[in-house]
Amino acid sequence: MLSWPAPLLPSVPGRGPALRLHDTARGEVVPTAPDTTARMYVCGITPYDATHLGHAATYLAFDLVNRVWRDLGHAVHYVQNVTDVDDPLFERADRDGEDWIVLGMRETALFREDMTALRVLPPEDYVGAVEAIPQIVAHVEDLQTAGLAYTLEDGTGDVYHDVSQAPGFGSESGYDEETMLRLSAERGGDPDRPGKRNRLDPLLWRGAREGEPSWPGPQGVAGRPGWHVECASIALGTVGMGFDVQAGGSDLVFPHHEFSAVHAEALTGTKPFAQAYVHAAMIGLDGEKMSKSRGNLVFVSRLRGDGVDPMAIRLALLSGHYRTDRAWTGDLLTAAQDRLATWREAVERESGAPAAPLLTTLRERLTDDLDSPGAIAAVDAWAAATLAGDTAPELEEQAPAVVRDAVDALLGIAL
């Protein structure tokens, strides 16, 4: 699929420490240790509605990972999928009397515009589920041939992964069975479906149903792919096994990332799928998680349409830590607009407070599990010292230009 245009990425003098991130599987902050090319897979949207501020916050968090790695001198192979065939698309298209393909294409186009406006670095591979179907089918057949998958005997043609044969199962989320069963039921699984070997077994392939689109499938059974195998297959076809960071919102910890890992590890007979599983917390509104199904959404495109500067949206979302569940409020946006104006005024000055200490702090904060609030506070302090003019110690002529570049390169905020 077409990705979106890359923003300019200034280079900044100096170098920071290695990036450390919280890994859900180990339950602690760990150093990332990428090769020359760092590899990251971030779960993409299901395009049945516009990008809301929760999605945006998640993609902004992992955009910081991308930016910090690049600042450390790595190339980055960044992959994102689009779940462009799934139940929510059919339901919304039916409701609105629209073709589900047209709906998906339109919302994906809007997502690209939102990401471009927010200055999110584009993925090197942007892959739709539909275009990955041939690869997914081959993977499901491999699991069947290895005796790790089975077809339900109810005539539907539905194929499941037998997780009782997956030794690593449970190691990503670390959840107990009761929690897994509850989350599976809440998040697209079917623990109560009769005929499954294990209640948690995830769907690999859904046999064709009346009124649903279908493609030629494993062993000639037409249908469409399950959700977790979509991401396992796309990751295997792009970044490959053992990549550095598998990422998404915390609602993907289980079952999605657990089963993507289980599928890929079973397919390759190697471990791990990813070196670290990193999850962004949920953005809420009025005390509830912002979600399409709850309908309590603030859209990036709506704010843009109202004339809000996308840089203020970006700054507002980054002013909270990515691992803290937090609420979107009008006050957050107002504070970000004020802050942006102050920063812009400071970088317009002919001279400013020394840049080098700020660069050191910015890198220290961001490499410490993406402490964006700490990084923003450091820029605030620099701007205040700069705007204090004569009272600040030894002003530097080049400082405003260096800080402008650093804030752009590391935080993605164009001043």
Residues that bind ligand 5CA (CB under 6 A): 43-46, 54-55, 57-58, 81, 83, 231, 248-249, 251-252, 280, 282-283, 289-291
Question: Which CB, 38 or 43, lies closer to ligand 5CA?
Answer: 43
What is the smallest separation between the CB atom of 404 and Zn ion, expressed in angstroms? 36
- Which one of ligand 5CA, Zn ion, none interacts with residue 349, CB within 5 to 8 A by kind? none
Do residues 158 and 207 lie in contact, with contact meaning Cβ atoms separated by under 8 Å?
yes
Question: Which CB, 274 or 407, lies closer to Zn ion?
Answer: 274
- Which one of ligand 5CA, Zn ion, none interacts with residue 54, CB within 5 to 8 A by kind? ligand 5CA
Residue 239, phi then psi, degrees to nearest 5: -80, -20
Q: Is 293 exposed, middle or buried (0-12, 13-18, 19+ CB in 10 A)?
A: exposed
- Which one of Zn ion, ligand 5CA, none interacts with residue 55, CB within 5 to 8 A by kind? ligand 5CA
Cis peptide before 272 (omega within 30 of 0): yes
Question: Which CB, 43 or 346, lies closer to Zn ion?
Answer: 43
- Which one of ligand 5CA, Zn ion, none interacts with residue 399, CB within 5 to 8 A by kind? none
- Which one of Zn ion, ligand 5CA, none interacts with residue 184, CB within 5 to 8 A by kind? none
Within 10 angstroms of residue 330's Cβ, the number of other Cβ atoms is: 9
Q: Is 93 exposed, middle or buried (0-12, 13-18, 19+ CB in 10 A)?
A: middle
Question: Which CB, 79 or 312, lies closer to Zn ion?
Answer: 79
Q: Which of 314, 136, 322, 310 is nearest to 231 (CA)?
A: 136
What is the smallest separation between the CB atom of 235 and Zn ion, expressed in angstroms? 9
Question: Which CB, 258 or 405, lies closer to ligand 5CA?
Answer: 258
- Which one of Zn ion, ligand 5CA, none interacts with residue 236, CB within 5 to 8 A by kind? none
| Count of CA atoms in the C-beta half-sphere (13 A) of 94 | 8
Question: Which CB, 119 or 256, lies closer to ligand 5CA?
Answer: 256
Question: Which CB, 43 or 264, lies closer to Zn ion?
Answer: 43
What is the smallest separation between the CB atom of 383 and ligand 5CA, expressed in angstroms? 29
> What DSSP string describes 277-310?
EEEEPPEEETTEE--TTTT---BHHHHHHTT--H
Q: Which of 121, 39, 113, 47 is nearest to 81 (CA)?
A: 47
Residue 139, phi then psi, degrees to nearest 5: -70, -40
What is the smallest separation between the CB atom of 177 and Zn ion, expressed in angstroms? 23
| Count of CA atoms in the C-beta half-sphere (13 A) of 159 | 31
Question: Which CB, 187 or 344, lies closer to ligand 5CA?
Answer: 187
- Choices 36-44, 180-188, 213-221, 385-393 (CB under 5 A): range interacting with Zn ion: 36-44
Q: Write b or e for each residue in 194-228: b if 16 or more Cβ atoms lie within 10 A of its Cβ, otherwise e.
A: eebebbbbbbbbbbbeeeeeeeebbeebebbbbbb
What is the smallest separation between the CB atom of 291 and ligand 5CA, expressed in angstroms? 6
- Which one of Zn ion, ligand 5CA, none interacts with residue 127, CB within 5 to 8 A by kind? none
- Which one of ligand 5CA, Zn ion, none interacts with residue 283, CB within 5 to 8 A by kind? ligand 5CA
Do residues 113 and 301 lie in contact, with contact meaning Cβ atoms separated by under 8 Å?
yes
Do residues 298 and 53 lie in contact, with contact meaning Cβ atoms separated by under 8 Å?
yes
Which residue is it, tokens 């904060």? 365
Q: What is the token pair recorded at 215? A: 């493609």
Interface with Zn ion, residue 143, by CB under 5 A? no
What is the smallest separation between the CB atom of 17 and ligand 5CA, expressed in angstroms? 27
- How does DSSP classify residue 130? G
Do residues 313 and 413 lie in contact, with contact meaning Cβ atoms separated by under 8 Å?
no
Interface with Zn ion, residue 231, by CB under 5 A? yes
Distance set, CA 184 to CA 98, 132, 181, 259, 292 (Å): 30, 24, 5, 11, 19
Question: Which CB, 311 or 317, lies closer to ligand 5CA?
Answer: 317
Interface with Zn ion, residue 89, by CB under 5 A? no
- Which one of Zn ion, ligand 5CA, none interacts with residue 46, CB within 5 to 8 A by kind? ligand 5CA
Q: Which of 331, 318, 324 is nearest to 378 (CA)?
A: 318
- Which one of Zn ion, ligand 5CA, none interacts with residue 44, CB within 5 to 8 A by kind? ligand 5CA
Interface with Zn ion, residue 40, by CB under 5 A? no
Interface with Zn ion, residue 43, by CB under 5 A? yes
Q: What is the token pair recorded at 409? A: 């390169």
Question: Which CB, 110 or 231, lies closer to ligand 5CA?
Answer: 231
What is the smallest separation between the CB atom of 129 and ligand 5CA, expressed in angstroms? 8
Residues that bind Zn ion (CB under 5 A): 43, 231
